[in-house]
Amino acid sequence: MTRDKEEKRRQALCINDHVDILLEILKRLDGRSLCTAACVCRLWRALATADSVWEHLCLRRIASPGSSVRPVVSALGGHRRLYMLCVRHLLTRLGRDPGSSSAWDELQLSLSLFCVDYYERLGGRFGDTAATSSLMFLCKPVNV
Amino acid sequence: MKKRDHQDSCSSSYGGDSGGPSSYGKAKVVWEDELDASGGMDELLAVLGYKVRSSDMADVALKLEQLEMVMGQEDGASLSQLQNDTVHYNPSDLSAWVQTMLSEVNAPLTDPAQSLQTDLDFSSLQNYVNAESKQTQLRFSDDSEYDLSAIPGLAAYPPRSPPPPPMQQPEPPPPMQQPEPPPPMQQPEPPRNKRLKTAIGSSSTNPNLPSSSSSSSTVIAAPESTRPVVLVDSQEAGVRLVHTLMACAEAVQQENLKLAEALVKHVGLLALSQAGAMRKVATCFAEALARRIYKIRPQDPLEATYNDILQMHFYETCPYLKFAHFTANQAILEAIGTTNRVHVIDFSLKQGMQWPALMQALALRPGGPPAFRLTGIGPPQPDNTDALQQVGWKLAQLAETIGVKFEFRGYVASSLADLDPAMLDLGSPEMETISVNSVFELHRLLACPGAIEKVLGCIKAMKPKIVTIVEQEASHNGPVFLDRFTESLHYYSSLFDSLEGSGLSPDSEDMMMSEVYLGRQICNVVACEGPDRLERHETLAQWRSRMGSSGFDPVHLGSNAFKQASMLLALFSGGDGYRVEENNGCLMLGWHTRPLIATSAWQLSPTVGNQ
């Protein structure tokens, strides 16, 4: 009996021991789940708030984003912020009509709006986390 | 039996004698018809237990459709209230039932299709409505025949100051079987609001106008059976408002200033009876007309910074400026192709909100970003601060962040006509790709004869690869004042409508500043003349012919611009109201069916005639 138990214990997988697997899983989550995952424990928080995971989320639907996107986005505030401010709103609002616009176009639009937001923040009037007024329209509920 | 009472109370409690000969007459005719033609009921429905007169069938069908539409739009709360509150008698009489239902529904709702009367946020309107009804009752103290509060009595309406004036016509004591909307004693808030709303509508109607106004109170009993039953009163007041505005403008045109003065005061009062966009538009136009009549000097030209601030709020509230910037940027991007140096001359730098998006697109260009040079033209600042340099500095910071080589130069010019291309330090076309950008600036030049030709010549001398122009799509520069007035009334009504649709609360700073921004334009169009009248908007067709005859060829904005614009608009709440249209290579953004701004792109004609 005890041998069985011991074997079971040996075979039990603790995900926290296998960070690479955990990372792969996190990369495939959607935004909301990622945020929830960040609340689990410190390790998960560190992994789930890393920008690379969010980069995966933002660029998931893009076939070949090119190498220039990452430095620009990082400089403007990171992929997590990009997702929070722009991408998720575009996904929900434009998701209704999937055939009409390509993922790359949507990303371009997100990036443009993100850039405008950064520019507005340069004025120094806004706190770090709040969206500037130019992006307020994204927060308004849309008549679906 | 009961139906007869219903009809009776309908005709007698409403506008009574002088106000309602037509409604009473019609009700009477209907009643008599019913008495005569007991066999006039539709047979098939009679088998099912419903009594509908054959002659009424089409009418009842129409009303049932309307009811279905209206009920389909209500949320659950008011719908259940509807079910609980309404008292129906003789439900086999479909015609009366549907009328009662529609009258129930009419009171709290507005017709969403009504373009002048925009969608009202009912909950936020409550306090406003309460306040306004007090005001209008104060102003229209002789509207006692519409003083509906007398009917249910003081239980529902605690006395307001001043107390309702004595009734001019003795109201018959309401018969008990009257299928009124819910006994007001038991239900405080919602029915009160229903009544208050129509009280506004009805009290705003001119008591001197005859029988048509009797249909204005729809609350107490079913309205006239022949009218399409969707909020008649405010619609009517709105129509009356527009007519009065037009009459005032006509009087101004004919130099009949006394009449104009009287009318403009009336407009001011009528405007208070409206709500939302219509009210704001009417107030702006009334003010502008008043300025014109009394020859008040035009408003002090705003400090440029203040104007910039107003435009910033307008930028944030609605998509017009964003649309303008994005489509112009797309045209520039497509024109510059793979060049290594780009030089943009911006006639409308303001806060530079257009350029971050372009710089980002340049940064991600396959093959790397070109060197980006920006020359911004701006008006002189009264306090000698260098606003242009501040904008340039911010843009430079952004450029450094995203890795684009950037250079900025600012030029101060009180009018674009003062510009001299030699001053701009332009490189030759082989060295750099030049592009000229103007958003809502060129129309101001039309105030000075010869200015636009000079500026277009100047642009040609710069030898740009592409010229992007965004202008308002409106004909506000005709020679006849009345035409300009009518055009601008429609234009700004649509614009204000779209502001309402943006979902911002009416007293947010953004909303108010946007209204001030538009209000100043209205004042300029209506009240100013000669060189002061700067807002000389012209239609796309007019700009096309002007550019064509000055030696420019149109460049078609591609499908990318269209797609991006459509996506952008889909993000805005109220996005369903906005429409992007393609018009021979130019893109137009409009609200519902009315195009409001147009983006066009131009290049130099390849012929020698570029002198």
- Average pLDDT, whole number, for chain A? 81
Tell whether B92 is within 8 A of chain A (Cβ).
no
Q: Mutate which of A64, A115, A118 to test chain B, going by most B C-beta atoms within 10 A?
A: A115
CB spacing of A76 vs B402 below 8 angstroms: yes
- Tell me the two tokens of residue A4: 């069985």
pLDDT score, position B80: 53
**Which candidate from B359, B397, B564 shows the least CB-CB separation from A122?**
B397
B interface mutation test: which of A73, A119, A142 has the most B CBs within 10 A?
Answer: A119
Whether chain A has a CB inside 8 Å of the CB on B121: the answer is no
Q: Which segment, B44-58, B93-107, B409-423, B479-493, is predicted with the most confidence on average? A: B479-493
| Residue bearing the bigger pLDDT, B153 or B263 | B263
Helix (H, G, I), strand (E, B) or coil at B353: coil
Give the residue from chain B lying closest to A113, CA to CA. B357
Query: Is B563 part of the contact surface with chain A (CB cutoff 8 Å)?
Result: yes
In angstroms, rounded to a whole number, what is the distance separating the alpha carbons of residues B111 and B97?
Answer: 20
Separation between Cα atoms, residue B517 and residue B523, nearest integer Å? 10
Distance in Å, alpha carbon of B42 to nearest chain A alpha carbon: 42
* Residue-level pLDDT at B400: 92
How confident is the model over B492-542, as pLDDT tens digits?
999 998 888 877 777 788 888 999 999 999 998 998 888 888 899 999 999
The average confidence (pLDDT) of chain B is 73
Q: Give 3-state DSSP helix, strand, coil % of chain B, rounded to 5.
A: 55, 10, 35
Which DSSP string corresponds to B48-69? Answer: HT---BGGGHHHHHHHHHHHHH
What pLDDT does residue B495 have?
92
Cis omega (within 30 of 0) on the bond before B162?
A: yes
Element (DSSP H or E) covering residue B234:
helix B232-253
pLDDT computed for residue B599 by the predictor: 95
- Identify which of A101, A136, A142 has the shortest CB distance to residue B575: A142
Angle at B194 between CA B191 and CA B200, to 5 degrees: 140
B315 in contact with chain A, both atoms CB, cutoff 8 A: yes
Query: What does the pLDDT read at residue A67?
Result: 83
B548 touches B586 (CB < 8 A): no
A interface with B, Cβ–Cβ < 8 A, is 66, 68-69, 71-72, 75-76, 89-90, 93-94, 97, 100-101, 105-106, 108-109, 111-116, 118-119, 122-123, 133-134, 136-138, 140-143
Instruction: Categorize the per-residue pLDDT at B297 as very low, low, confident or very high, splitting at 50, 70 and 90.
Output: low
Query: Tell me: the pLDDT tens digits for A105-130?
Result: 888 899 999 999 999 888 765 444 45
Q: What's the CA gap between B188 and B190, in Å, rounded?
A: 6
Sign of the Cα torsion B242, B248, B254, B259 reads positive
Interface residue B48 vs chain A (CB under 8 A)? no
Tell me if B273 sits within 8 A of B203, measured CB to CB: yes
Q: Do A134 and B316 touch (CB under 8 A)?
A: yes
Highest mean pLDDT among B85-94, B233-242, B480-489, B572-581: B480-489
Asked if the Cβ–Cβ distance from A142 to B363 is below 8 Å, we say: no
Q: What mean pLDDT comes out for the span B97-102?
A: 75
| Rounded-to-integer distance, Cα B35 and Cα A104, Å | 71
Contacts of A71 in chain B (CB under 8 A): 402-403
The answer to whether the CB of B289 falls within 8 A of the CB of B526 is: yes
What is the mean predicted confidence (pLDDT) over A66-83? 88
Identify which has the larger pLDDT, B344 or B206: B344
Report residue B591: phi and psi, to 5°. Answer: -110, 120
A126–chain B nearest CA distance, Å: 15
Q: How far away is chain B from the Cα of A28, in angstroms, using its nearest Cα?
A: 26
Q: Which of A133-137, B12-16, B55-59, B603-607 has the lowest mean pLDDT?
A: B12-16
What pLDDT is attached to residue B360?
93
Give the separation between CA B261 and CA B245, rounded to whole angstroms.
Answer: 11
Cross-chain Cβ contact B567/A105 below 8 Å: yes
Structure-token pair, residue B544: 């096309």
Distance CA B87, CA B109 (A): 19
Between chains, do B573 and A140 touch, taking CB under 8 Å as contact?
yes
Q: What is the dihedral of CA B96, B97, B103, B105, to 10 degrees?
A: -160
Counting one residue from A and one from B, how many pairs have CB atoms under 8 Å apart? Answer: 106
Cβ atoms of B109 and B233 closer than 8 Å = no
pLDDT, residue B133, reads 43
pLDDT digits (tens, 9 = 90+) for A12-46: 778 888 889 999 999 999 889 999 999 999 999 99
Q: Is B309 in the A-facing interface, judged by CB distances under 8 Å?
A: no
Q: And the tokens for B429? A: 């076309």
Indicate if the pLDDT at residue B328 is higher than 90. Answer: yes
Q: CA nearest A90: which of A79, A81, A78, A103?
A: A103
Lowest mean pLDDT among A128-132, B57-61, B423-427: A128-132
Give the tokens for residue A131: 């969206």
Mind telling me how many Å the CA of B402 is from chain A's nearest CA? 5
pLDDT in tens, B154-163: 444 444 444 4
Which pLDDT belongs to residue B91? 66
Rounded Cα gap, residues B603 and B335, in angstroms: 10
Q: Chain A partners of B510 at a C-beta cutoff of 8 Å?
A: 133, 136
The predicted-structure confidence for B376-411, as pLDDT tens digits, reads as follows 998 887 776 788 888 999 999 999 999 999 999 998
Query: Residue B178's pLDDT is what?
Result: 38
**pLDDT tops 70 at residue B138:** no
Say yes or no: B400 contacts chain A, CB-CB below 8 A: no
Mean pLDDT for B291-303 is 75
Indicate if the pLDDT at residue B325 is higher than 90: yes
Residue type (1 letter), B525: V
| Chain A hits for B326, Cβ within 8 Å | 112
Q: Is the pLDDT of residue B140 over 50?
A: no
User: B381 is written with which tokens?
Assistant: 């600042």
CB contact under 8 A, B316 and A75: no
**Given the DSSP bridges, would you call strands B552-555 and B578-583 parallel, antiparallel or unpaired?**
unpaired
Spatial separation of the C-alpha atoms in residues B245 and B266, rounded to whole Å: 9
Quick one: pLDDT band at residue B419, thresholds 50, 70, 90? confident
pLDDT at B386: 80
- The band of B475, judged by pLDDT with boundaries at 50, 70 and 90, is very high
Share of chain B above pLDDT 90, in %: 30
> Which of B364, B567, B572 is facing A106, going by the closest CB pair?
B567
Q: Under an 8 A CB cutoff, do B356 and A116 touch?
A: yes
Nearest CB among B360, B567, B571 relative to A137 is that of B571
pLDDT(B64) > 70: yes
Residue B88: its pLDDT value, please? 60
Q: Is residue A76 scored above 80 in pLDDT? A: yes
- CB-based contact (8 Å) between B390 and chain A? no
pLDDT attached to residue B282 = 92
Is there a contact between B436 and B354 (Cβ–Cβ < 8 Å)?
A: no
